[in-house]
Amino acid sequence: MKNVLSIFAVLGLVAGLFGFHAPAFAGVYSDLTPDQQNSVQKGETVFIAKEVDGAPWPKAYIYVRIDSTPEEAAAVFSDYNSQKNYIPNILKSQISKQVSKTAVNVDYTVHIPVLSDESYTVEDTLSAYDGGTSYKVEWKLVRADSTKSSDGYARFETLGTATIMAYYNFVVPGSSMAGLVKKQAMKQVQDVVKAVRTQVEKERTGGRELLDKQIQTMRGILSK
């Protein structure tokens, strides 16, 4: 028994030295295959498309590692008015209505290659989970020029000393030509996630004034 306890003590010491923590392998990270997990750890973007019968575009799942805390990443993402400043093809992002303390309507205009620019409104809801260490923004379509439906989420969870961002989006466009730009649309949704990562890491190392303000705003929203 003494030897067994010694082995566990050594394993615990090694885990502490190398930064291995159980939460790093829970949540959305555990949904990935070992190869996908390895890609995330190397800083690569993991993109999974799940086709839906009758829908021109698939459900898109994207996973990426961000060098930040989950709170920092979620604070940047949930600053909806600023998204137009760094996400490609977003021409407008503006909060138009306070639905509840944690939910707002956001008006967007996005440039869609080949098709016409699309204006729409989604309801974004911010929440925290895992005892306040993980964050999620969920959205659902309120109205749109032509889009039939849209829903998704962005989740931010601990991955060792970094964050894993899991982004899901499913859009059913209204245009009969949507199938022709499927490839471009899927690239565009991946570009969103890459842009978020770049912005978070930029704010984190660039003086932090804006980031600290975003964090305080998010804390106020989530406070009881």
Domain boundaries, the chain: 21-222
Run of H or E residues at 222: helix 209-222
- Return the pLDDT at 78: 98
Question: What's the CATH number for 21-222?
Answer: 3.30.530.20
C-alpha distances in Å from residue 78, one per residue of 115, 130, 135, 173: 28, 18, 10, 24
Tokens of 87: 């996400």
Amino acid 114: pLDDT: 67
Residue closest to 135 by CA, chosen among 158, 103, 105, 159: 158
Q: What gap in Å lies between CA 59 and CA 171, rounded to an integer?
A: 8
For residue 209, what pLDDT is reported?
A: 95
Contact 123, 218 (CB under 8 A): no
- Alpha-carbon Rg for the chain, nearest whole angstrom, is 19
Helix (H) or strand (E) holding 40: helix 34-41
Q: What is the pLDDT along the chain (224 residues), one digit of tens a residue?
A: 444 334 333 334 333 333 333 334 569 999 999 999 999 999 999 999 999 999 999 999 999 999 999 999 999 999 999 999 999 999 999 999 999 999 999 999 998 776 778 999 999 999 999 999 999 999 999 999 999 999 999 999 999 999 999 999 999 998 877 788 889 989 999 999 999 999 999 999 988 999 999 999 999 999 97
Task: Look at phi and psi of residue 121 and say left if phi exceeds 0, alpha if psi is from -120 to 50, else beta.
Answer: beta
Q: How many CB atoms lie within 10 A of CB 95?
A: 13
Q: How far apart are CA 65 and CA 208, in angstroms?
A: 20
**For residues 211 and 76, is the Cβ–Cβ distance under 8 A?**
yes
155 in Cβ contact with 136 (< 8 Å): yes
Those residues with Cβ within 8 angstroms of residue 99's Cβ, 6 or more apart along the chain or in another chain: 105, 123
Sign for the pseudo-dihedral over CA of 74, 215, 124, 103: positive
Predicted TM-score of the model (pTM): 0.87
